[in-house]
Structure 1
Amino acid sequence: MLTRELTINNKSGLHARPATLWVQTASRFRSKIKIKRGGSVVEGKSILGILSLGLSAGSVFELLVEGEDETEAVATLEQLMIDLENQDR
């Protein structure tokens, strides 16, 4: 299992549009993908789960990925967070 601590650096946080992009990206992988914030852990391929975390600008969360393509999944989702940040500029 791979874990990464990520920070939401775009102005609007992980609201509906970026959360949808996250889910679409995460769904391409066979690995199990979870997002942990505080005491809550949600399915990383679930729009409702992600939105329930209320990830606003500056929020820190842990990405948990386990499976055959976990390395690629983590790298791709990290890059998505960078791309979302760059869209705000």
Structure 2
Amino acid sequence: MVLASSEAVVRLPDDVDLHARPAAQFVRTAMRFGATVQVFANDRWADAKSLLAVMALGARRGTELRLSAEGQDADVALDALATCVADLVE
């Protein structure tokens, strides 16, 4: 069986840092899917389902996030995460 793999690039809103509350919202969204999801920012990859790993990226306002997902629902997971990032609030 071949697993689907997808990537997307999104940008944090200009008024949101990826600290505890927004990061938790992001992680909750990622956890809804079976796909393995990674997020890249500031020259580091992190497991998108790990709150501590996502917060450790130190992503600040306007930071570009590269999302990568692998699994049957990879495309749906990335669409949901892109929407989540666009809708993040402090």
Could you say whether these structures have the same fold, taking a TM-score greater than 0.5 normalized by the shorter chain as the test? yes
Match of 1:73, as an amino acid?
A
TM-score between both structures, scaled by the size of structure 2? 0.87
Counterpart contact for 2:42–2:58, Cα < 8 Å: no
1:22 lines up with 2:15 in the alignment: no
Q: 2:8 & 2:87 partners in 1: Cα distance?
A: 17
Superposed CA RMSD: 1.4
Alignment partner of 1:12 out of 11, 16, 28: 16
| Aligned-residue offset at 1:9 | 0.9
Q: Secondary structure at the match of 2:72?
A: coil
Distance 1:56 1:2, change over 3 A: same
- Between Structure 1 and Structure 2, how many residues are aligned? 86
TM-score between both structures, scaled by the size of structure 1? 0.88
Q: 1:69 & 1:19 partners in 2: Cα distance?
A: 21
Where structure 2 has 5 or more consecutive residues not aligned to the other structure, the ranges are none
Q: 1:31-50 maps to which residues of 2 (within 5 A)?
A: 31-50=35-54
Q: Secondary structure at the match of 1:57?
A: coil
